[in-house]
Amino acid sequence: MNTETDLELKYKVLTELLPGILSSETPSQLLTHVFGCVSKYFSLDLLLNYWVEERFPYRLQLIHHRGVTAEEAEALLSLDQGQTICGAAIKSMQPYICERLQETNDFHGRILRQMGLRRYVCFPIVVVDETRPFAIGFGSRTGDAFDPTELEVLHLMASHLVRAFERIGRFEELERQNAALAETNRFLSSSENRFAAIFAASPHPMLITTLEDREIIEANDAFLLLLGITRLQMDTQYGELIRGNELMLQIPEPDEHSTVPEGISREVTFTNHAGDERVCILRTVRLDFNGELLLLTMISDLTEHKQYEHELQRLSQLHLVGEVAAGIGHEVRNPMTTVRGFLQLMLMQGKNTLEPAYLQVMIEELDRANQIITEFLSLAKDHMVQLKRENLNDLIRKILPLIEADASVTGKIITTHLTDVESIEMDNKQITQLILNFIRNALEATGENGWIQLKTYMQDGRAVLVIEDNGPGIPADVVEQIWKPFYTTKENGSGLGLAVCFSIANKHGASIDLSTGKEGTAFYVRFRTS
């Protein structure tokens, strides 16, 4: 190019560059404008913008790029300073020009060579009040060398970019300061706002409503979480989600003269919008805000506490039965064994005045009593468990013939669906008893064409055992009672089978859940694997 042509090109480029450099409001907008100009006039097809990482100053982080694929950007995202041209430019604080890139062995340019670049130039950029220096580089996959005019314009542009980044930085800092001041003024403008900050941050659900028509003035995040809704839902679906909820209908109105900590308290039960039943204590007090009467409702969620009470009551019952079992179980069995032996001897020798059938009934009843005592003793708190790491599937396969034999006698079908599960710490005798108790209950619950399915799978790091049947289901009023010792709906039942299952699960650190309906019942036993 001659001098006139060079000057004309510089004029065109700078005329197009400078307005955008002066008007860009963000770094991304600025670099998009710059890349559009240089790619148009100089056939440059790549822009990389790095800065020094804050936590690891020896590395560079890619913050803007143009003209590279997503895979290439991933490879360029974070690089060691000493291995890059941009790092060399930042270290020396001088422009770094690399021409005929494919023909050189420049260590700093090896990544760019792999991307097919043939020339690359990088300029360091130091912005006032910014502790981390920047680097901006331009590259091309065509042409082996830069024209002097190109380098002159790029160098001049880099100097303008320093001032542009400083201007944008000051503008962003002013915006941050203005936002911070606005936020400060909003919270400090009145005592009501200061109260609102405390109110919003409270971990306890709280609600402020008007006293007369109970219109919501404010609800904190803990209250929304209790109701199972988001703040956006509260704002857009107020009538449906808040005012129509059964909790709102149960809020008591305090006495005209009540103040904190007095007021009206009431225990309520309601179902939130996630379908969960919650038990809470509501306390309400009147508040006078600038002459307007409001109602403050403070809520204590007792749901988990109630669940713990329920579990403790159940464990207490098992503990009581265990204490009794440990004290009298063995003593009762000894005379029973003696009586059974003599009855059996009389039956065998035929030396008695009773019908043999009567003796057989007596022996069977003694055996039944002995079985009840066996279950009784298994509830004892000092019953030792021999834990070994074993696989649940292996145990099920081992006892499956016994289960199938029980099912075939009653004409029921047993199926299994066992998937890979992690081994668990278990006493195989007790887990066998647990499975057999559930199976026998299912066999008794199902009618003609009855089936029982055993399933295993992993869920949330636990090995899950499922015993499912197609029986008529368990009535709602019975579900809460079935775990209690001696509770039974069977004519000849002992009421200890499921209590034993619960005790065994508790000793293994497992939990038991159930789902029941008209189409059947499923028990879920969840074992820890670690």
Choose among 506, 504, 519, 529: nearest CA to 435: 504
Give 244's pLDDT tier (boundaries 50, 70, 90).
low
Residue 78, phi then psi, degrees to nearest 5: -140, 120
Q: Are 446 and 414 in contact (CB under 8 A)?
A: no
Statement: residue 1 has pLDDT above 60: no
Lowest mean pLDDT among 223-237, 384-398, 408-422, 432-446: 223-237
**Distance between first and last Cα of the chain:** 76
Q: Are 380 and 318 in contact (CB under 8 A)?
A: no
Per-residue pLDDT at 159: 86
Provide mean pLDDT across the span 19-23.
86
> Encoding tokens for residue 69?
């694929």
Statement: residue 481 has pLDDT above 60: yes
Lowest mean pLDDT among 34-38, 158-162, 333-337, 415-419: 333-337
Q: What is the mean pLDDT of the chain?
A: 79
Lowest mean pLDDT among 66-80, 84-98, 310-324: 310-324
The DSSP secondary structure of 461-513, one letter per residue, reads TEEEEEEEE-S----HHHHTTTTSTT---STT--S-HHHHHHHHHHHTT-EEE
The 3-state DSSP class for residue 34 equals: helix
- Name the more confident of 197 and 361: 197
Strand 388-390 and strand 78-80: the pairing is unpaired
Cis before 261? omega within 30: yes
Statement: residue 261 has pLDDT above 50: no
Tell me what percent of the residues of the chain surpass a pLDDT of 90: 15
Return the HEC string of 207-236: EEEECCCCCEEEECHHHHHHHCCCHHHHHH
The Cα–Cα gap between 67 and 116 comes to 12
Residue 517, phi then psi, degrees to nearest 5: -170, -170
Running DSSP on this structure, what letter comes out for residue 264? E
Per-residue pLDDT at 100: 93
Per-residue pLDDT at 260: 44
Per-residue pLDDT at 139: 93
Provide mean pLDDT across the span 393-407.
86
Torsion, Cα 137 141 147 150, to 10 degrees, reads -40
pTM of whole model > 0.75? no
Q: Are 287 and 211 in contact (CB under 8 A)?
A: no
Choose among 505, 481, 478: nearest CA to 317: 481
Choose among 206, 210, 239: nearest CA to 223: 206
Give 464's pLDDT tier (boundaries 50, 70, 90).
very high
Give 345's pLDDT tier (boundaries 50, 70, 90).
low
- Name the more confident of 481 and 449: 449
